[in-house]
Structure 1
Amino acid sequence: MQTPDFNLLVTLNALLCEGSVVRAAQRLGLSPSAMSRALARLRQATGDPLLVRAGRGLVPTPRALELRAQVSQLVDEAEAVLRPQAALDLKQLVRTFTLRTGEGFVETFGPSLIARVSSQAPGVRLRFVSKPDRESAPLRDGAVDLETGVVGKALGPEIRTLGLYRDRFIGVVQAGHPLSTGKLTAARYAACSHIAVSRRGIDRGPVDEALELLGLERRIVTMVGGFSAALALARSSELIATVPDTSTRSLRADMHSFALPFPPPEITVSLLWHPRMHADPAHRWLRECVREACAQHLANPSTNGALD
């Protein structure tokens, strides 16, 4: 069997990224005719046209779309192998990292993380973006450097993870709510009006499963897409918000927080990243900063939002 020409991977990556023979040629410093010949060789090697004419441009075939992420990762890894590893100088590092985080992470751990990063690497900026879903595509395509959240079934099998902390669900109501006085039982909790939190519009979760074991069902009167919205509603009504303790602590100041009167559901919040960034020194440093910031906060928690 003839050994494949691995240089074609670089060519294929450029073609799939640019979607144009001319732009791919410019990217690699080749002539358009040389790139056209390379595309012909790629078509022969893969048995697929890869890029086909559509009007004045080219569009990728399904096979090309299937290969794009894999080829990009292979080229990135090959370049990393052949690139000299320079010592990381944090004082000279100029870089913007994008972190995709769940609700409450920035408010809870952001100040400690930003202070830690700024003191060690003044030229580094952190860009926090919201996390509307659990898809790993932003990590895979490089739009996001790091992500925090609960590892779910939608996570790509290649994604690396590191557990940051355990969190448990608690109840939160406005000051003066009937549940803030008297003995709290599971039946009393379930009988009140509740806010369900679900990004996918599902009105049943771990809390409902825990209540079902007791033969109880909570009365859900409204549903929101996030914990901050649930807390905002609970702050100005008699509704109950059931939220993670640690990651919402700074969001529920002046509210009454209480332990659930039944075994509370627990979750593990993890740090997630794509394997192509695993060996990058700056990325590795940032991951350690996140881990240390979380550990520091958990060792010295604020009293805001503490359980009553």
Structure 2
Amino acid sequence: MALKYVKTALLLCSLLVATQSAAALWTINYPKPLDDSDARAEYPIALLKLALDKTGVNYELLPSDRILLSSKALRQLRENREVNVVWSMTDSQREKDLLPIRIPIAKGLIGLRVFVINVDREAEFARVSSKNELMNFTPLQGEEWPDTKILQANGFNVATVPNFKDAYSLLLQNKGDFFPRSVIEVSAELEGRSASLKLEPDMALYYPTAMYYFVNKSNPTLARLIETGLNRAIEDGSFEALFKSSNEAILEELDIKNRRIYTLDNPLLPPETPLADERLWYVIEQ
């Protein structure tokens, strides 16, 4: 009889723990964007919310107390401070320092780059007819960005800046020839900027890479939670629907189908990148 009571008590305890776990509030902090109008953050936040909704957990999704640009946000995440999830382009070092959720949230578009140039240089770029000729121009990139090493590995002489805002300032001063920006970033960034800056209309660069959600290595439970939600969204089509509604109009506006796209190697691409899963990548039709 005593054994029966013990078993009953254990069962009740298990049910209580499960109920409390389901009701627990997950507080998830992401890097605060530059301002409320920073459209570059809208899609990653919307997709993260979609993934969390798919899991059924009780959560609150909040920005950090202060603005955190990419490099600072990754450092804070590595130190388990201020944020517990960051979205960023991957490389081997970041995957050593942090825990990646290997589902490319932008389906590889982070590696499709169009060029912001100074209008004074438009005629020079119009004469470019090959990748080798393009390599005579100096691209601007961030000091700690994986893109810098990728461009350098492919033969470009890269000028580096502390953050992306400085690159735009240097372009205005002709202290750099072009600023390759991802197709998912550039339109939002150019809004309200000087009329002396414009998009080069005919070319693009592409290198295989992925933008992932990253969490601290001590937080595998959160990683599994986000991964589960993303996979459910992929399976039911809601991931693809959000991706298209957020990006298709931009790709049409940038006329990607009619650009000359020069492909680069990416020596920083980790071998675990899920390149073979066709569901996870955008196919450029030309």
Q: TM-score, normalised by structure 1?
A: 0.49
Q: CA RMSD in A?
A: 4.8
State the 4+ residue runs in structure 1 displaced beyond 6 angstroms: 120-123, 201-204
The equivalent of 2:141 in structure 1 is 197
Q: Aligned pair 1:84/2:33, yes or no?
A: no
- AA partner of residue 257 (structure 1): E
Corresponding residue to 2:91 among 138, 151, 172? 151
**Structure 2: how far apart are the matches of 1:231 and 1:283?**
38
The equivalent of 1:209 in structure 2 is 153
The correspondence of residues 189-268 of structure 1 with structure 2, limited to 5 A, is 189-192=134-137, 194-200=138-144, 205-210=149-154, 212=155, 218=157, 222-235=159-172, 237=174, 239-253=177-191, 255-258=198-201, 260=203, 264-268=206-210
**Structure 2: how far apart are the matches of 1:125 and 1:108?**
16
Residues paired across the two proteins, number? 211
Q: Residues 102, 155 of structure 1: CA spacing in aligned structure 2 closer, same or farther, 3 A cutoff?
A: farther
**Structure 1: how far apart are the matches of 2:21 and 2:248?**
32
Contact kept in structure 2, 1:235 and 1:255, CA below 8 Å = no
The correspondence of residues 117-196 of structure 1 with structure 2, limited to 5 A, is 117=49, 124-127=61-64, 129-132=68-71, 138-139=77-78, 141=80, 143-149=82-88, 150-156=90-96, 159-162=99-102, 163-164=104-105, 165-166=107-108, 167-175=111-119, 177-192=122-137, 194-196=138-140
Mind listing any 5+ residue stretches in structure 2 that lack a counterpart? 1-15, 192-196, 260-286
The equivalent of 2:216 in structure 1 is 274
The equivalent of 1:107 in structure 2 is 38
Answer 1 or 2: higher relative contact order, Cα 8 Å, separation at least 6. Answer: 2
**Structure 2: how far apart are the matches of 1:154 and 1:114?**
20
- AA partner of residue 129 (structure 1): L
**Structure 2: how far apart are the matches of 1:205 and 1:152?**
12
Q: Tell which structure's C-alpha radius of gyration is larger.
A: 1
Give 1:152 shift: 2.8
- AA partner of residue 199 (structure 1): E
**Structure 1: how far apart are the matches of 2:100 and 2:93?**
14
**Structure 2: how far apart are the matches of 1:139 and 1:295?**
32
Residues 62-87 of structure 1, C-alpha deviation per residue, up to 9 Å, x if partnerless?
A: xxxxxxxxxxxxxxxxxxxx953547
Give 1:224 shift: 1.0
Mind listing any 5+ residue stretches in structure 1 that lack a counterpart? 1-81
Q: TM-score, normalised by structure 2?
A: 0.52
Q: Residues 135, 209 of structure 1: CA spacing in aligned structure 2 closer, same or farther, 3 A cutoff?
A: same
Contact kept in structure 2, 1:169 and 1:264, CA below 8 Å = yes
**Structure 2: how far apart are the matches of 1:247 and 1:286?**
27
Secondary structure at the counterpart of residue 151 of structure 2:
helix
